[in-house]
């Protein structure tokens, strides 16, 4: 079967994380065109990816007009996702869209509806689902080893707003600090991954209480630099999310899942970058794995190893792109389909709605 022929829309930082899939798995995916509003950026990406210079564009419509483009990989700034995805679907292209799906719940629903109407596959690039050890965590939970999940927590500490943390960001013109371009602040930029991971492990979010703070001088257009949210899931479990751009803590992503028969938690390697941290294995202790009674709460935990079924390696970006291609070829629903990811967007935007309302909100009312 020939590889899926893909056009890339947006060739910035996150698109660079996608390049290994195009270079190392040409039998599965073939990058045939690149588009970016910055011609020099698109040309540089195309050169590094081995794409013909004649297939470099600055206008999305020109890329979508190509008959050899079967699918698009959209890696643009958040406020462009809605128009890019809908335009691509109307052109009959399958859509892989970087997270977050959209800057509002209605925009997210619009994209899903447009892809449904066009009969194209739509997948959101929630890359954490495609890490081998998180895939194993999912199987352990589904197998019942943790019992009934009753609590969970995720922390996203990304000190982008701290003085001197990143020169480009602390000039104050980084789009991630702009609530209109980003769709929010720290929750939208960095915690969407964590919200999606909790959903993947625990269930859909049905109720939210939250508080956000946006008084940091770098924040504009309603962006928040800090947030705390409490989720109630359709399983009856409760969860907490802590998110910040400005907390004076190590840059860190971690999660905790507690069931009636066991616990899984992550211990990130603080020497790694914010992507490397997710490669740190989860740790697990359950009734089924205890070798002797009266454990001390430390030595009972063991690492959760990888589950490689359906994956091509340990790079989650590569795994998600190959998964996208295989789903199209095999007519399957992606693990992080647009339909599934709607509740992630409802949960993220529900944090903002609950904070603005100053009360608990029902996701069904969004």
E runs forming strands in 216-313: 226-233, 238-244, 252-259, 262-266, 282-286, 302-303
Q: What pLDDT is stored for residue 334 in this prediction?
A: 98
What CATH number does the domain located at 129-309+344-365 have? Answer: 3.30.360.10
Q: Where in the chain is the domain with CATH 3.40.50.720?
A: 4-128+315-334
pTM (predicted TM-score): 0.95
Residue 335 near residue 129, CB atoms below 8 Å: yes
Residue 225 near residue 244, CB atoms below 8 Å: yes
Q: What pLDDT is stored for residue 259 in this prediction?
A: 98
Cα angle value 316/320/325 (rounded, 5°): 150
Scanning the chain, the segments in alpha helix (DSSP H) are: 13-24, 39-49, 60-64, 81-90, 105-118, 132-142, 167-170, 179-182, 186, 192-202, 316-330, 338-357
User: 4-128+315-334: which CATH number, 3.40.50.720, 3.30.1310.10, 2.60.120.10, 1.10.760.10?
Assistant: 3.40.50.720
Q: Where in the chain is the domain with CATH 3.30.360.10?
A: 129-309+344-365
Of 305 and 291, more confident: 305
Is pLDDT at 139 greater than 80 in this prediction? yes
Is pLDDT at 123 greater than 70 in this prediction? yes
pLDDT tens digits for 238-283? 999 999 999 988 888 999 999 999 999 998 877 766 677 788 889 9
């Amino acid at each position: 079967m020939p590889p899926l022929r893909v056009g890339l829309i947006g060739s910035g930082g996150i698109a660079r994380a996608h390049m290994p899939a195009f270079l190392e798995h040409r039998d599965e995916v073939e990058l045939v065109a690149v588009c970016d509003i910055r011609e020099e950026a698109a040309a540089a990406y195309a050169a590094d990816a081995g794409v013909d210079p004649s297939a470099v564009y600055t206008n999305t419509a020109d890329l979508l007009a190509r008959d050899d483009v079967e699918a698009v990989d959209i890696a643009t700034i958040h406020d462009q996702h809605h128009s890019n995805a809908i335009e691509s679907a109307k052109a009959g292209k399958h859509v892989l869209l970087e997270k977050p799906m959209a800057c509002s719940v209605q925009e997210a629903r619009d994209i899903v509806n447009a892809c449904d109407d066009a009969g194209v596959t739509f997948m959101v690039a929630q890359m954490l689902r495609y890490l081998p050890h998180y895939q194993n965590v999912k199987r352990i939970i589904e197998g019942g080893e943790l019992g009934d999940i009753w609590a969970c927590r995720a922390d996203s500490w990304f000190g982008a707003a701290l003085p001197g943390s990143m020169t480009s960001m602390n000039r104050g013109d980084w789009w991630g600090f702009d609530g209109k371009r980003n769709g929010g602040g720290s929750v939208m930029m960095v915690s969407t991954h964590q919200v999606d991971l909790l959903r993947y492990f625990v269930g859909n979010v049905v109720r939210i209480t939250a508080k956000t703070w946006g008084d940091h001088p770098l924040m504009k257009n309603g962006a928040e630099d800090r947030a705390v949210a409490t989720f109630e899931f359709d399983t009856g479990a409760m969860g907490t999310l802590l998110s910040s751009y400005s907390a004076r803590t190590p840059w860190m992503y971690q999660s905790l899942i507690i069931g009636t028969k066991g616990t899984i938690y992550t211990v990130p390697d603080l020497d790694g970058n914010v992507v490397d941290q997710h490669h740190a294995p989860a740790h697990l202790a359950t009734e089924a794995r205890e070798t002797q009674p009266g454990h001390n709460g430390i030595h009972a935990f063991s690492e959760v190893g990888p589950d490689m079924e359906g994956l091509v390696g340990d790079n989650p970006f590569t795994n998600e792109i190959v998964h996208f291609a295989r789903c199209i070829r095999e007519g399957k629903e992606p693990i992080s389909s647009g339909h599934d990811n709607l509740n992630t967007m409802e949960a993220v935007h529900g944090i903002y709605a609950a904070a603005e309302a100053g009360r608990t909100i029902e996701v069904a009312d969004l």
